[in-house]
Amino acid sequence: MSIKVEKKKLLLTGIFAVAIVAVMLLMPRPNRHKYTYEENRPWGYSLLTAPFDITVYRDSATVRAMTDSIDRTLVPIFRRDEEIPARVVASVSASHQLTSPTRGRLCQLIQELYDRGIVGQTAASAIASGKLTDVKFNENNVNVTYSTASFISQRDAYAMIDSVFRNNPERSVIQKLDLARLLMPNIVEDREATANYRESLIQPVIAGIGVIQQGERIIDRGDIVTPQLYQVLKSYEATLEKMSEGSRTSQLLILLGRLLFTALIFGCIPVYFLINRREWFIPRRMAAILLLMVGFYVFAMATAHTFMSGIYLVPLAMLPVIVMVFFDSRTAFFINILEVILCSVWASFQFEFIVVESIAGTAAIFSLNELSKRSQLLRSAFIAFLAYTVSYLGVELMSTGTLTSATPRILGYFALSSVMISFAYILIFVFEKIFGMVSVVTLVELSDINTPLLRRLSTECPGTFQHSMAVSNLASEAAHNIGANVQLVRAGALYHDIGKIGNPQFFTENQYGPNPHDNLLPHQSARIIINHINDGMKMATEAKLPKAICDLITQHHGHGLAKYFYTMEQRQHPDKEIDPAPFTYPGPNPQTREASILMMADAVEAASRSMTDHSDKAIKALVDRMIDSQVEEGLHNDSPLSFRDISEIKRTFIKRLRSMYHARIQYPEEIRRKRADKHDEPDQAPAADAKS
C-alpha cells in the first residue's frame, strides 16, 4: 500500500514539474520599462521624456514590406567572362581537320554568339519566363543595366551553329569537335556583387529614420499613441533592452522570478484539493487540469504574438465550464482565477485583462449550474459575451473616459471567443476518453432506463431493477444534501447490480417460487451472490461504461461479508471457526463519498423490504443499525466521508423511507343502493315528474 502511495506522489510531482517547466520556458521576455500600450489608444502613464538620445527605427512590418519590395524588383549583377570565348575560338582554330574557309567561318560565328552573350540554363529559363528581363554589369564601378533580350542559351547557341553548317560537307568533322561541351556561358551572375548591391539597398530601410534628443518630450498622459509615437516608444524599448541585457546575474534573477511565479500558481492547486477535495487529488485528474491550463496558456501566447490584443481571442471562459463539468463550480472558479493570472503575462493591459476575463469566467460558471444538455452551452456563450462586453466597456470608460477605435475590434474578438465556448462539448468528450473522467451529460444519458443494459435488467431481473430504482432515489437525495455528485450516484445506483442478470433467481427480490439456495451449501450460495460483482464488471466493460460507474459497481459492497450465509455456515458448524474469506466481497472499500452513499443506500433499502413495522422508531433504528455496523467494520475508512455527512445521510434516508412507508388512509367501501324489484317499482315515472 505504501509503495502505491509513493508511486502516486512521484507521479503527481512529475506532472506538476512538467507543467511548471513548460510554462517557464514559454514565458515572455522581461518587460523592463513596465509600460503597456497599443496603437491608437490613449497613453495611460505620466509624462515620458527621452532619458538619452533615441534613434527611431521603422517597425518590423514596414521593414519586412520594404525588404520584400526590394527583393521583388532587385536586378542581379552579372559579369562577362572574356576568357571563355578566346578559349573556345582557340580550340576550334587548332583543329586541322577543317579547311581554312570552314574554320574561319565557324570561329567568326562562335565569336558573334559570344558577343551576343551565352547564359546558363537557369538564367535562360528565367529569361524565357519573363522573370529576368534586365541585368546589371559593373562598368568602371558603376552598375549599368542591360536588356537580356539578345542573350542566348548554350543549347540554342549549339543549335544555331548546327543549322548554319547543316549542308556543309565538313559537318561531321564539326560535330567531332564536341561544341556542345565547349560552348560554356560567358554571361554569369556575380552572386557576391548581387548580395552587396542588395545590402546597400536594404541598409537605408533598417537604418534609423530620426533621432529624439535627450530631454525631449515623447508622450504625456491621455495622448493618443499614433503610429509615429508607437515607433518612437518601440525604439525606446529596444534601446533600453540593449542597454540592460547581458548581465548573468540579471538573467538568473529573471529565471528565479519565473520559477517563483509559476510555482506559486501551480502550487495553489494541490493545496486547494488537499483542503477541499482530497478525493480528487489523483494523477489523472491533476493531469487533466494542468493540460487544460497549459493548453490555454499556449493558445494565449500564440494569439498575443499574432494579433494586436489577440489574447482576447482565447476563450478562457471555456476553461471553467469544462472544469465544472468534471469537478464542481467552486473548483471551476478557483482554476479560472489562476489561469487568468497566468495568462495575464501576455496581456498589454493586465488590469483590464484580469478584470474582464475573471468576470466573464464567473458569469459562465453561474450560467451553467449543471451541464445536462448541449444547448446549455449556447446560453453560456451568450452570457459570457455580455459579461465580456459590459466589463470591458466599464474598464475602458473608467480608465480613459472614452471609447477608442480599438473597441469594435476587441468586441469582435469577444464574439469569436464566446462562439468557441459553445464547442466546449468537443473538449469534454476528448477528456472523457483520454482521462477516463465522466461528465454530467454522459451520466444523464446513462441514467436513461431505455439504455440496452437497463432495459435488459428490467426485463430479466424486474425485482433487482425496482431495487436499483429505489436505491437511486435514496442515494441521489443523500448526495444532494451533502454536496456529492448527484448524477454519478444516480447512474451508479442504476447499474450497481447489473451482475445479477446472469443468475436472477438466486437473489431474493427476483424469486417467485422455490429458493434455489435451499439445495446449496452456504459457501456455495455465498460464492454465487458475491460473483455478481465480477459479473457486473464484465458486463460494464463490454458496455464500455465509464470508470467512475465501474468503481461504484466494485465498491458498493467493499470488503463486506455476505452475512446471511456466513451466519448459516457458523450455525451448521458451531464447533468450528469459520474462515470469512469465502464469504467476503472482493472490494475495494468505498474510495469516494459517492461510493459510500451507494453502499449505505443499498444496504438500507434491501433491509427495509423485510420490515413489518414501519413506524418512525423502527425506520430510524434500521437506518442507524445498518450504517453504524458498516462504520464499525471500517468499510468507509478509505472514503472522505465526514461524521457530519453520515448524520445527514441518515436523516435523509429516514425521511425518505418514512415517506415511502407512510400509513395510508383506508377508503370506506362504497355504499350501493339495492335496486328495487321490477314488480315493486313502476316502469315509468309519474306524468308530473316526467314533465318536470
DSSP 462-506: HHHHHHHHHHHHHHHHHHHHHT--HHHHHHHHHHTTGGGGGSGGG
In the chain, CATH 1.10.1760 covers 2-27+261-435
Residues 239, 55: contact at Cβ < 8 Å?
yes
Which residues touch 670 (CB under 8 Å, ≥6 apart)?
none
Residue 135: closest CA among 208, 74, 196: 74
Q: Which CATH architecture has domain 2-27+261-435?
A: Orthogonal Bundle (1.10)
DSSP state of 309: T
For residue 224, give the 3-state DSSP assignment. Answer: strand
Residue pair 512/620 in contact (Cβ under 8 Å)? The answer is no
440-660 CATH pick, 2.40.30, 1.10.3470, 1.10.3210, 3.30.70: 1.10.3210
pLDDT confidence of residue 688: 33
pLDDT tens for residues 248-268?
A: 666 788 889 899 999 999 999
How far apart are the C-alpha atoms of 313 and 423, rounded to whole Å?
A: 14
C-alpha cell belonging to residue 138:
559593373
Instruction: Say if strands 210-212 and 54-56 run parallel, antiparallel, or are unpaired.
Output: antiparallel
Calpha distance 536→531 (Å, rounded): 8
For residue 613, the SS3 value is coil
pLDDT, averaged in runs of 10, over the chain (692 residues): 76 93 85 65 75 77 87 91 88 81 87 91 90 90 90 89 83 79 89 91 82 80 79 78 63 86 95 89 92 95 85 93 89 96 89 93 86 74 93 85 76 92 86 85 88 94 94 95 92 96 90 86 93 95 92 95 91 89 93 95 93 89 95 93 94 92 61 49 39 30
pLDDT at 670: 59
The three grid cell numbers given for residue 627, joined into one nine-digit string: 450504517
**Residue range(s) of every CATH 1.10.3210 domain in the chain:** 440-660
Neighbours of 22 (CB within 10 A): 14
Count of other CB atoms within 10 angstroms of residue 427: 16
* pLDDT tens per residue, range 44-101: 666 788 777 777 877 777 888 889 999 888 999 999 988 888 988 888 888 777 788 8
Q: Hey, is 152 helix, strand or coil?
A: strand
Q: What is the pLDDT of residue 56?
A: 80
Interior CA angle at 657 toward 655 and 663, to 5°? Answer: 100
Q: For 601-635, what is each residue's pLDDT tens digit?
A: 999 999 998 888 888 899 999 999 999 999 999 99
